[in-house]
A and B are shown apart, each in its own frame.
Chain A
Amino acid sequence: MEQIPILKIGDCLLVSIQVDMHDRLAMALQDDLTAKIVASRARGVMIDISALEVVDSFIGRMLNNIAAMSRVLDAVTVVVGMQPAVAITLVELGLALTGVRTALNVDKGLALIRRLIEGGEDEFDRRKG
């Protein structure tokens, strides 16, 4: 059975998407990740999409959903490694990913997660505002 692995590092979950996902696989990842946030009491989720050559509206919606669900479950989500061509295309597609925090790479993503966990939602609100 196809599955995207979810690694636990301390209080964070790390997902690195290395394959071109079909829609059911993307939905399965969304469900797996939500269950694992609860089971592992994770505070942060990092999703590495540096290997993804295409992010269409379905994958974009999945990223949005994961960020929203993790927020409800008291965890923060950071998406890292988006390729420039993917970013350009996403904006033109009309998908702003407004609910998703991003970082350039895994190092910066981990640092952002630490800041967000320690600063709490106030930190997020301040950054947003």
Chain B
Amino acid sequence: MIVEKDETMPVRNAEDVVRVRREVRTHAIGAGFNLVDQTKIVTAASEIARNTVDYGGGGMLRLETVRLGARRGVRLTFTDRGPGIADLKLALSDGYSSGSGLGLGLSGAKRLSNEFDVKSTPGEGTIVTLARWK
């Protein structure tokens, strides 16, 4: 896999979530995504970025445009050092929310991604990786 573009940005507050949407859109356009695929990965990124701010106490996003053979994709890695997720299976189920949201953040973002992975250690933090391919 070739990484064509590799950037990092802070995800600390609500304004950063808007910036995340904008930067992910730029990567998706650069990777040649159509409008629907752009919208899907930007929406997924928005959900995870909000989790990073609201539950993870802020963190970082690594944005990569990648190429595998003839296929191009966008891979996003959100990292925080927050309290972590105690029950991942529960957190990934539709409608479950530890906050006041609709509980669609993780599960919805997973549905909008081609690849989705969560690693979380209680007390240490959470890493969410998602990717969408053209």
Contacts and interface: CB of A to CB of B under 8 A. Distances in A.
Interface in A53-111: 53-58, 60-61, 83-86, 88-89, 92-95
A22 B17 contact: yes
A11 interface: no
B77 interface: no
Contact of B104 (A24, A88, A95): A95
B85 interface: no
Contact of B50 (A23, A53, A89, A92): A23
A31 interface: no
B107 A94 contact: yes
- By secondary structure, the A interface counts as helix
Interface string B16-48: 011001100100000000011011101100110
Contacts of B87: none
A54 B39 contact: yes
Contacts of B17: 22-23
B105 interface: yes
- Chain A interface: which size bin? 20 to 34
Given A61-B101, A92-B112, A85 B39 contact: yes
Contacts of A32: none
A54 B102 contact: no
B43 A89 contact: yes
Contacts of A24: 14
A85 B38 CA distance: 9
B108 interface: yes
Most buried by B among A56, A61, A88, A92: A56
A20 interface: yes
15 contacts: A21-B18, A23-B17, A54-B39, A55-B43, A57-B101, A57-B108, A58-B101, A61-B102, A84-B36, A85-B35, A89-B43, A92-B108, A92-B111, A94-B94, A95-B104
Interface of B: 14-15, 17-18, 21-22, 25, 35-36, 38-40, 42-43, 46-47, 50, 94, 101-102, 104-105, 107-108, 111-112
Interface of A: 20-24, 53-58, 60-61, 83-86, 88-89, 92-95
